[in-house]
Chains A and B, each alone.
Chain A
């Protein structure tokens, strides 16, 4: 199992092999948990997202195909959908739902990773942070609202009091700037 690529493991998962799911869990739980924690800032909720993501792998009808991209992107897309469902539900229930300020986002529970992992992750993070320096404060806020907090394009149009087309243009432009300042090679992906 250990040497199998993600796509092969996913095929085994579809044949109901728990060991394959266990291996995928070991490979990706930290990514999924970190994402859920970053977006929700709530341990119980982050745990539940992790559970939902891996149960979804077990029951999903949709196929993962390696030609369409990396497994990590695929599993993050599933994670983001579940996180956003939750955030939207929370927003619906509580008009006064307050998001943590960006500077609070760096405070995380003390479960440290190994120095090597830290260095690698750190390098990736530095690269994207570097690219972020080319964005305006408004563009960063737009990404925060759209990507992390899961406001839909329509909700953002309402929130910012701008036409939908303008929001889409701004987001499109923001992503283009970001791409331009990320390293050209695929190493960071």
Chain B
């Protein structure tokens, strides 16, 4: 059956309807539409059928915590733990202790903030990020994220995500929680990644504001396919441990298959 229109560009109709068309061709086709009756008529028919296709699915209720995940991700993209919580602390000792296991997967330039680039992080590795420091470039892309749920018995106010964001040529592994209890004294939240039965430290952070926001951001090698089987966050008496001593407060699973 012949399904072609009178002009050669009519042949793009199906690509146009289904979105499989480049910008240039699309513009050309849209110009063409205004004077091709065949395409206008067919477009109406095909679009109607095309738009009906998703009706062929069971409606599935999304998980209830998904909204929190989406808005947590939005916070991360916006660089928006509120100004006072932009502080991020980590200790040199903790990092040195875990450097060996991380050497393969991480560029251990420094812990730091999401909105800094690697050079910035390196420069600010000791002093907390000053609250008056202006926000830097927005993060362009989130590669993946996993939700972090409160661990059993840890209360259910908290929530968080662990994700990899890309900013220009660099990538960072970011853990962002909110609703976490404020840390007192030397206390610190410690992020652990479990991979192949082995537990590794990803770093520590503190929580000092009333919203309970905490952020850990670690640059990773852009070429690495960084992953893990599970992630856990414990509340530790200090930031120096190489094994968990305190209770587990957040937990999450593996990143989705890439």
User: Number of contact residues on A: which range applies?
Assistant: 35 or more
- Shortest CB-to-CB span from B11 to chain A, Å, is 8
Of B1, B62, B254, most buried by chain A (CB within 10 Å of CB) is B62
Q: Does A153 contact B (CB under 8 A)?
A: yes
Asked if A47 and B66 make an inter-chain contact with CB atoms under 8 angstroms apart, the answer reads yes
Asked if A44 and B73 make an inter-chain contact with CB atoms under 8 angstroms apart, the answer reads no
Q: In chain B between 201 and 219, which residues have their CB closer than 8 angstroms to a CB of chain A?
A: none
- Shortest CB-to-CB span from A50 to chain B, Å, is 6
- Shortest CB-to-CB span from A125 to chain B, Å, is 6
Of B14, B46, B58, B74, most buried by chain A (CB within 10 Å of CB) is B58
- Shortest CB-to-CB span from B109 to chain A, Å, is 27
* Nearest-CB residue, chain A, relative to B253: A44
Asked if B145 and A48 make an inter-chain contact with CB atoms under 8 angstroms apart, the answer reads yes
Q: 0/1 per residue, B94-113, Cβ < 8 Å to A?
A: 00000000000000000000
Q: Does B67 contact A (CB under 8 A)?
A: yes
Asked if B1 and A58 make an inter-chain contact with CB atoms under 8 angstroms apart, the answer reads no
- How far apart sit A89 and B256, CA to CA, in the bound complex (Å)? 13
* Nearest-CB residue, chain B, relative to A169: B3
Contacts of A178 in B (CB 8 A): 49, 52
Contacts of B144 in A (CB 8 A): 48
Contacts of A51 in B (CB 8 A): 66, 69-70, 73, 142, 145
User: Number of contact residues on B: which range applies?
Assistant: 35 or more
Contacts between chains A and B (CB distance < 8 A), count: 152
- Shortest CB-to-CB span from A111 to chain B, Å, is 3
* A182 in complex: contacting residue of B3, B49, B253, CB < 8 Å: B49
* Nearest-CB residue, chain B, relative to A40: B256
- Shortest CB-to-CB span from B125 to chain A, Å, is 30
Q: Does B147 contact A (CB under 8 A)?
A: yes
Q: In chain A between 41 and 100, which residues have their CB closer than 8 angstroms to a CB of chain B?
A: 42-48, 50-52, 54-55, 58-59, 69-70, 73, 76-77, 80-81, 89-90, 93
Contacts of A112 in B (CB 8 A): 61
- How far apart sit A164 and B18, CA to CA, in the bound complex (Å)? 15
Contacts of B70 in A (CB 8 A): 25, 50-51, 54-55
Of B57, B77, B142, most buried by chain A (CB within 10 Å of CB) is B57
Asked if B256 and A45 make an inter-chain contact with CB atoms under 8 angstroms apart, the answer reads yes
Known: A25-B70, A55-B73, A173-B3. A89 touches B62 (CB 8 A): no
Q: Does A1 contact B (CB under 8 A)?
A: no
Contacts of B14 in A (CB 8 A): 153, 168, 171-172
Q: In chain A between 115 and 164, which residues have their CB closer than 8 angstroms to a CB of chain B?
A: 117-118, 121, 124-125, 127-129, 131-132, 143, 146-147, 152-153
* Nearest-CB residue, chain A, relative to B48: A179
Contacts of A44 in B (CB 8 A): 146, 253-256
Contacts of B145 in A (CB 8 A): 48, 51
Can you offer 21 A-B residue contacts whose CB atoms are under 8 A?
A: A34-B60, A43-B63, A46-B62, A47-B62, A50-B70, A51-B70, A55-B77, A80-B19, A108-B60, A112-B61, A113-B59, A117-B59, A128-B55, A128-B56, A171-B14, A175-B46, A175-B49, A176-B49, A178-B49, A179-B52, A189-B51
Interface residues of B (CB under 8 A from A): 1, 3, 11, 13-15, 17-20, 42, 45-63, 66-67, 69-71, 73-74, 77, 142, 144-147, 253-258
Listed from nearest, the 7 A-B pairs whose CB atoms lie closest are: A111-B61, A33-B62, A179-B49, A175-B49, A38-B57, A44-B256, A178-B49
5 further interface pairs, Cβ-Cβ under 8 Å (given A18-B71, A34-B60, A168-B11) = A18-B74, A51-B145, A54-B74, A77-B19, A176-B46
